[in-house]
Structure 1
Amino acid sequence: MNGSEVKTTQKKYSLQSWSAQKGTDPIPVQKADGIYFWDFDGNRYTDMSSQLVNLNLGFANPVINQAIKEQVDQYCFLSPSYASEPRAELAEKIISLMPDNMGKVFFTNAGADANENAVKIARMFSGKFKVFSRYRSYHGSSFGAGNLTGEPRRYALEPGAPGFIKFFDPYLYREVIEFASEEKATEYYLAKLREQIQYEGPNNIAAIVMETITGSNGIIIPPQGYLPGVRALCNEFGILMICDEVMTGWGRTGKMFAFENFDVKPDIVTFAKGVTCGYVPLGGVAVSKEIAEYFDENVLSCGLTYSGHPLACAAGLATVNYYQDANILENVNQVGHALGEILESFKTKHACVGDVRYIGLFSAIELVKDKTTREPLVPYGKDPEGIMKKILGMLKAKNFMTYSHENVVIIAPALIITNEQLNEEMCKMDEVLSQVDALI
């Protein structure tokens, strides 16, 4: 097929996610390498969101490709009841990178079913049924993960399953209270969470589930002391702490896992995306030694046909080893520092930039109509005039590819990006923000 045939055929026979089908206009991609991909007309685009913040090592990594090829020649699939070398080695590797309280891994297909199985495990282990998660969160779109999700993508699943309770993020930029410090903000949010725990009944609450750093809903970084405070509440009331590291894991924040930035040890960690960079779908649930030991005598009522898929685990092992062998974290911290400086300059320069938030190569630009009032460029859950779509179109015209959510533009390039590549692309963002300044 040529590019036009690819697009026409796909639109005719394939449903596009999160879209009214008539409005879709997918770019037919012919080839890809590193942080770039090309259409059938030879136009080069730069991937500045790591696709869906999962392609951490970019396209066409030869080490991952080779591992997949070698596993294909051995075998591609085994039932989860059999033992395979890549599954065994990857599970061991993952636990070695986790805190010393972690014990075993249950492999899934992606992030949504990782979160669903984490909830099941927490309920089975604790004997309790309520699960807390935050309003500005996205944990997946399947039924269980969609009920765990707090943002508008949960609406299609409502009325939902019982036992899913929402609480507020420590979102300081949007808070009406002016706190004297991050620590004071932490005190406030922890007090409100404690109050809600008491209202819901601690004896009913199995787990508190959080994206360690809120991802697509704005890259909301917890204030000083917040995550240790949540850990303390969980300890006090016998609640499991589950960190969703689907987007933040595997080097994105400058640490292998984001919770390492905050000196906490979760009871359960979910992961996906960067464990294979999407080369083959894979996710997982890492559980503490205490939870793992519980299932020595009690049935783990979790199962997936493709759990521990050998091809996926081979890709995962090669990926995780590459993070270490290629010193990826060093590049994330070095280039991430430069990204932070650029974003701070945008905040000073552009009238439309209300706030910027960043850690490692995980960042967001929050767009506003007015810096003083902090009125968002588009209202929550709505974009009646298609303003954010227009902004993405301006970036696309410069071959800068990313995505937005609410009034936030995500900047999360592959972890292999260089300073030179970053500067080239962020100049394009600077130009587009000047156009947005004129619009408002």
Structure 2
Amino acid sequence: MTSILPSDLDTDQRVRADDRGHVFHSWSAQALIDPLPVAGGEGATFWDYAGNSYLDFSSQLVNLNLGHQHPDLVRAIQEQAGRLATIQPSMANDVRGDLARRISEVAPDGMSKVFFTNGGADANENAVRMARLVTGRRKVLSAYRSYHGNTTTAISLTGDPRRWANEPGDGSVAHFFGPYPYRSAFHASSDEEEAERALAHLEQTIILEGASTIAAIILETVVGTNGVLIPPPGYLAGVRELCDRYGIIYIADEVMVGFGRIGEWFAFQAYDVAPDLITFAKGVNSGYVPLGGVVISDRIAAHFDTVAFPGGLTYSGHPLACAAGVATFEVFERDGILERVRDLGSRVVEPRLREMAARHPSVGDVRGRGLFWAIELVRDRETREPLVPFNAGGKDAAPMGEVAAACKSGGVWPFTHFNRLHVAPPLVISEDDLTRGLDVIDRALSAADAYAH
């Protein structure tokens, strides 16, 4: 804790008043929320006006990969603003081209073009548009446990309950069950069996939906908000084979897990597959200025050599955003970020979470990779009854609220969703802070243990 200053508390009240009086918040019943006024941040920590500091174990929305106020990213934005603050996307720009080249160089061979967007939702919208135009088909398949954004097609692709109130949306979307070994929809008894049965289910979905009508399958390489679901061995390769067999475009949604979150430039690179389109945002520049995009295979890009692509955005490839993206690449390479994430994940996070799972009766499963993990909380390990019901609200969600409150009181800002506590700190977090944060989570799990039997 830092000292509490009267002027800070005055500012706290002013910020709260302006926010409550004039800001309309996303995904919220406006009268039922109380947003925390944030005064500043540095590295893996942010703080409020009342003198409370928090380890950011959610990287805000799993986008702040290089942490708060990284000096290299701030400097890059400042220097670019002083040189050329903005330019329309139809003109060539040095930092836009530089970033596109760097992204294509870390993508699979044969993916040399990048279409820039403002974030992940519009990246997915435009990837689907490309797939539909190239194939001449309309339908897109996506997983029930997924989140792809809040624009019309992206929210229709989304499988989680945020889709429900937004229906009807894009009527050419169908959902399927992806692999989830802990709660297998296929009664699988091993990861290998889960992959095999999930692929058989996907192929049946393709056949019954009409393979000749399906433009694309979109998948989060590692399912993010909906569970940090790691694909079992062979699953993504099987999806690639099904797409090839039926002439379907494979879109890898890397918005949350791209740019180092699991210790790879793109998460699919850990599974030895290559998609046709890659969507990204978040970690490409840690959200310092909004930026997303689509990495396009040469085959798909060639379709638009003499046919206009019917899409664009005023701020596509904004120079301030791209300058921060170029700086991100330089920091990753200079500081060995990918290697660091793999080391901390395997040496610090995984053994500690598995040790917690052995001691806490409320922990049903832990899973993850790099600096992206989920602790799934249950009332009963035998039946796997979740600590709170699916899509719980109000009193039903109270047990998870207690866990989150215990984390915050210990100085850790957590990422919770349904019955899960996710571990997703900035990739630059120190080992000491990482260990300290895990200690806080360990203690906070006692709140969940009180409900376990």
Bin for the TM-score computed over the shorter chain: over 0.9
* Structure 2 residue corresponding to 1:183, chosen from 165, 189, 192: 192
Query: Does 1:172 find its partner at 2:181?
Result: yes
TM alignment of 1:96-245, pairs within 5 A: 96-175=105-184, 177-245=186-254
Query: Does 1:270 find its partner at 2:283?
Result: no
**Amino acid corresponding to residue 393 of structure 2 in structure 1:** D
Per-residue CA distance 1:57-82 (angstroms, 9 max, x = gap): 10111111111011101121111111
* Cα offset, 1:42, TM superposition: 2.0
SS at match of 1:296: coil
Query: Does 1:412 find its partner at 2:442?
Result: no
Residue of structure 2 equivalent to 1:400: 412
- CA distance in structure 2 between the partners assigned to 1:3 and 1:331 by the alignment: 37
Per-residue CA distance 1:217-265 (angstroms, 9 max, x = gap): 0001111100000000000000000000000000001111100010001
Residue of structure 1 equivalent to 2:5: none
TM alignment of 1:251-330, pairs within 5 A: 251-330=260-339
Query: Does 1:31 find its partner at 2:43?
Result: no
* Cα offset, 1:178, TM superposition: 4.7
- CA distance in structure 2 between the partners assigned to 1:333 and 1:41 by the alignment: 36
SS at match of 1:304: coil
**Amino acid corresponding to residue 438 of structure 1 in structure 2:** A
TM alignment of 1:337-356, pairs within 5 A: 337=346, 338-356=348-366
* Structure 2 residue corresponding to 1:437, chosen from 435, 449, 453: 449
SS at match of 1:228: helix
Per-residue CA distance 1:244-297 (angstroms, 9 max, x = gap): 000000000111110001000100000000001011110000110001111101
**Amino acid corresponding to residue 349 of structure 2 in structure 1:** L
Q: Which moved more, 1:246-255 or 1:24-33?
A: 24-33
Residue of structure 1 equivalent to 2:13: 4
Contact 2:403-2:448 at 8 Å conserved across structures: yes
SS at match of 2:112: strand
Q: Which moved more, 1:119-128 or 1:23-32?
A: 23-32
- CA distance in structure 1 between the partners assigned to 2:325 and 2:431 by the alignment: 27
Residue of structure 1 equivalent to 2:381: 371
Query: Does 1:50 find its partner at 2:62?
Result: no
| Unpaired segments ≥5 residues, structure 1 | none
* Cα offset, 1:390, TM superposition: 2.6
**Amino acid corresponding to residue 123 of structure 2 in structure 1:** A
- CA distance in structure 2 between the partners assigned to 1:134 and 1:325 by the alignment: 37
* Structure 2 residue corresponding to 1:383, chosen from 393, 400, 414: 393
Per-residue CA distance 1:136-177 (angstroms, 9 max, x = gap): 000011112101101000012112221101000101111265
Residue of structure 2 equivalent to 1:424: 436
- CA distance in structure 2 between the partners assigned to 1:192 and 1:27 by the alignment: 44
Per-residue CA distance 1:308-359 (angstroms, 9 max, x = gap): 1111111111112211111001110111111011110111111111001110
* Cα offset, 1:417, TM superposition: 1.4
* Cα offset, 1:180, TM superposition: 4.3
* Cα offset, 1:378, TM superposition: 1.2
- CA distance in structure 1 between the partners assigned to 2:276 and 2:170 by the alignment: 24
* Cα offset, 1:103, TM superposition: 2.3
How many pairs are equivalent? 440
Report the TM-score when normalising by structure 2: 0.95
**Amino acid corresponding to residue 141 of structure 1 in structure 2:** N
- CA distance in structure 2 between the partners assigned to 1:117 and 1:301 by the alignment: 10
Residue of structure 2 equivalent to 1:359: 369
- CA distance in structure 2 between the partners assigned to 1:180 and 1:112 by the alignment: 35
Per-residue CA distance 1:83-119 (angstroms, 9 max, x = gap): 1101010001100010002120000000010011111
Q: Which moved more, 1:183-192 or 1:58-67?
A: 183-192
SS at match of 2:140: strand
| Unpaired segments ≥5 residues, structure 2 | 1-9
Q: Which moved more, 1:50-59 or 1:25-34?
A: 25-34
Q: 1:438 to 1:425 in 2, by over 3 A?
A: same
Per-residue CA distance 1:192-214 (angstroms, 9 max, x = gap): 11111011111110000000010
SS at match of 1:340: helix
SS at match of 1:344: helix
SS at match of 1:2: helix
**Amino acid corresponding to residue 276 of structure 1 in structure 2:** N
SS at match of 1:277: coil
SS at match of 2:450: helix
**Amino acid corresponding to residue 352 of structure 1 in structure 2:** S
SS at match of 1:332: helix
**Amino acid corresponding to residue 319 of structure 1 in structure 2:** T
- CA distance in structure 2 between the partners assigned to 1:48 and 1:182 by the alignment: 28
- CA distance in structure 2 between the partners assigned to 1:402 and 1:121 by the alignment: 37
Contact 1:50-1:58 at 8 Å conserved across structures: yes
Residue of structure 1 equivalent to 2:101: 92
- CA distance in structure 1 between the partners assigned to 2:407 and 2:433 by the alignment: 16
Q: Which moved more, 1:401-410 or 1:261-270?
A: 401-410
Contact 2:142-2:158 at 8 Å conserved across structures: yes
